[in-house]
Amino acid sequence: MSTSGRARPVALCSTALLRDSRARRLLAGLAVSSLGDGMSIVTIAWLALAIAPSGDAGVYVG
């Protein structure tokens, strides 16, 4: 916090955060984890469509 009572701009806070190597590693790990989560959601829905009976595919995926 600054002594003048005014908040620092967001750009200054984010650049200070990205200077820390631990924070950069954490953010990279979170990005890779989110990518993997999205891939698993798509894969599970795709598998449900593949194994569902032809008339009930929406029930299994939805």
pTM for the full predicted model: 0.59
Helix (H) or strand (E) holding 26: helix 21-51
d(CA 50, CA 24): 39
- List CB contacts of 8: < 8 A, sequence separation 6 or more: 2
What does the mean pLDDT of the chain come to? 81
To the nearest 10°, the Cα dihedral for 48, 51, 53, 59? -10
Q: Which residue has the higher pLDDT, 50 or 59?
A: 50
Domains of the chain, residue spans = 10-61
In the predicted model, what is the mean pLDDT of residues 56-60?
69
In the predicted model, what is the mean pLDDT of residues 13-42?
91
